Structure 1
């Protein structure tokens, strides 16, 4: 395999919801399975750690919240992680042992201010064991806004690797054209799109991104059933009207011309494995380079505020 090729693995699975130890164990097991098949990049779904709380209302209605809903949110908060922290250290040890890059969707607790806010984040872990970067979802979708805060432009992250540049956006952020442009402008070659969207239309989205960005797209979704949840969660009244399958999956890998390298996987857990030839990224930009010869900076310009947003500054801090 040349230095322009890399074998990748896209995970489709779900942990026991609200149980970060279950999620961490699953990450370790599935990463070992992928590494045993020579994968050097392993991508996990949106908020795999500690799970996507599909179907839960957390006792919220317009104008009111319930005590039971607050307790359920506390359970979610307690199963979330600090970044960096104990779980990222463990992920780093795993990545270093196996010599892989890990891309993991996680619910991140605010460490700097109130510690009362959660973020939907992508973590990038290198084969040296280091946390290389993270991305916080810019706009949580719909009812997600009650669970997660908004990220800022400082985490529109793309990382360098020996085989190409890796970055991406989370689920419906991918419908934000300017956010995509900010990622494209950093020269992304492998675009990760962890998601909770199992609709047919999502496949059109990731194929469009691949074709637009002239990059490989790795989309990872959970296959989740009530059987995968703790008993009390599976029997929760919010889920009573839902079927046994809560998310059918749809993980896939798409090449820079919008064609499938690995077809969407539905109805089961699994690993999608593929060898990506990054020379195809270069070839695909011959006739279309969205931030190169096919851009028109004399007509259109994008300004990205990549500064970290801070709610509190001390008078002694140096003002920028």
Structure 2
């Protein structure tokens, strides 16, 4: 399998420059349990949905450049330029080709990526809801479609945490759903770990605030059941979304592997779209090439360029796809004895701590992960 260079720190440093500039401890295992009334997966293979408005829906994936807020004179200037560019691209989506029902932007169209410590990065985040979501909501209203975008987010209920959240704006311009990143990929660097807060990192607190149903939420819309994620190379996460009734899996990326998107759509029997940003090919990174994939693994549309901005479009026969459909047939019952004995290296809830103790850098995050690793010795990076 050809693996595109995923989330590499040298790339992030380059992006920043382009846009400007033994004591092993054990995190307690959750004692939370699922109440008898909570149904996460229907036992007969069906799943909740609402009636469709039409037989086919159009998805448009926005492949655009990324500019870090840290590269502008002021945060306000950066947000205005990035927002204006999103509006410009959305206008193209509305006026060229079929009318879109869903517009998908990538992971960082508003904020870009910023280097530095936790305190350095926090100013270069947005709030959800906030003025930015209100303005993007105007795009959704004007287009009469759903607009999806990723961003780094700050939230007063999670002080000093940097959240990776995908937000869905409805046709009425209001926030229809927010999707936290489920978990970060680990051990891909030798000297650091990703510091953003995910559901996994604060799972019990997240569950207490929002409910277990919100760990793998599915938005039931008149255009189909959609979910959004920035997770890569994690089959269990996407299987869980499929079990919950996802029909269209929208993905946002900082670089990605096409094979991952194809296999994930194929193995989970859903449509999937991946929005990536662009970089000059001279950088040596495989950016761009955003795709839309069918449940049988066929690529319905793909942008041909790694460095050119543009729009990827595909029509999905959602009514025909949904007809008599059930959730995928997984080998869970057969494999469950193995799964029950498996122990993840990194305990869940590893960022449930006072804000003053949150790791400030990727290096500090690695020290934390090493210190709580259940493996001896800790697993090493293999990428």
Alignment pair present for 1:118 and 2:118: no
Q: CA deviation at 1:75?
A: 5.4
The answer to whether the Cα contact below 8 Å between 2:303 and 2:310 also exists between their aligned partners in 1 is no
> Are residues 258 and 25 of structure 1, via their aligned partners in 2, closer, same or farther at CA, if it must alter by over 3 Å?
same
Q: Per-residue displacement from partner, 1:147-194 (whole Å, max 9, x unpaired)?
A: 412235634332111121111321xx2322221122101211111121
Residues 217 and 254 in structure 1, CA contact (< 8 A), matched pair in contact too: yes
With over 3 angstroms needed to count, the CA separation of the structure-2 counterparts of 1:222 and 1:9, relative to structure 1, is same
CA distance in 2 between counterparts of 1:27 and 1:183 reads 28
Change beyond 3 A, Cα 1:162–1:196: same
Deviations 1:89-114 (A, max 9, x none): 11122212221101101111132142
Q: For 1:164, which of 218, 224, 244 is the aligned residue?
A: 224
| Contact 2:166/2:179, CA 8 A, preserved across alignment | yes
Q: CA deviation at 1:45?
A: 0.9
Say if 1:113 and 1:132 are closer, same or farther in 2 by CA, change over 3 A: same
**Residue 192, structure 1, aligned to residue 232, structure 2:** no
1:174, 1:281 → 2: CA distance? 25
Match of 2:67 in 1: 16
Conserved? CA contact 1:211–1:258, under 8 Å: yes
Paired residues of 1:119 and 1:151 also in contact (CA < 8 A):
no
1:284–1:23 CA distance, 2 compared to 1 (3 A)? farther
Unaligned runs of 5+ in 2: 1-51, 70-77, 204-213, 341-350, 355-383
SS in structure 2 at match of 1:174: coil
- What runs of 5+ residues in structure 1 fail to find an aligned partner? 59-68, 227-242, 304-308, 313-320
Indicate yes or no: 2:44 matched with 1:5: no
CA contact (8 A) 1:196 1:222 kept: yes
Superposed, 1:40-55 pairs within 5 Å as: 40-53=101-114
Whole-angstrom CA distance in 2 between matches of 1:282 and 1:139: 29
* CA–CA distance in structure 2, aligned partners of residues 266 and 285 of structure 1: 35
Instruction: Describe the SS at the equivalent of 1:193.
Output: strand
- Please tell me whether the aligned partners of residues 20 and 50 of structure 1 are also in contact (alpha carbons under 8 angstroms): yes
Q: Secondary structure at the match of 1:265?
A: coil
Task: Tell me the residue number matched to 2:175.
Answer: 131
Q: In structure 2, the residue corresponding to 1:248 is in which secondary structure?
A: coil
Query: 1:4 & 1:256 partners in 2: Cα distance?
Result: 17
Q: Distance in 1 between matches of 2:258 and 2:285?
A: 18
Structure ranking higher in strand proportion? 1
Which stretch of the first structure deviates more once superposed, 15-24 or 294-303?
A: 294-303
Q: For the aligned residues, what is the CA RMSD?
A: 3.0
Which residue is 1:91 aligned to? Answer: 136
- Residue in 2 that maps onto 1:28: 87
Distance in 2 of aligned mates of 1:23 and 1:297: 44
Question: In the aligned structure 2, how far is the partner of 1:189 from the partner of 1:17?
Answer: 33
The answer to whether the Cα contact below 8 Å between 1:14 and 1:51 also exists between their aligned partners in 2 is no
Matches within 5 A, 1:206-245: 206-225=261-280, 243-244=282-283
Distance 1:14 1:75, change over 3 A: farther
2:21: which partner in 1?
A: none
Q: TM-score, normalised by structure 2?
A: 0.62
- Partners of 2:323 and 2:135 in 1: CA distance: 38
Name 1:150's counterpart in structure 2: 198
Give the corresponding residue for 2:287: 248
The answer on whether the counterparts of 2:164 and 2:181 sit within 8 Å (CA) in structure 1 is yes
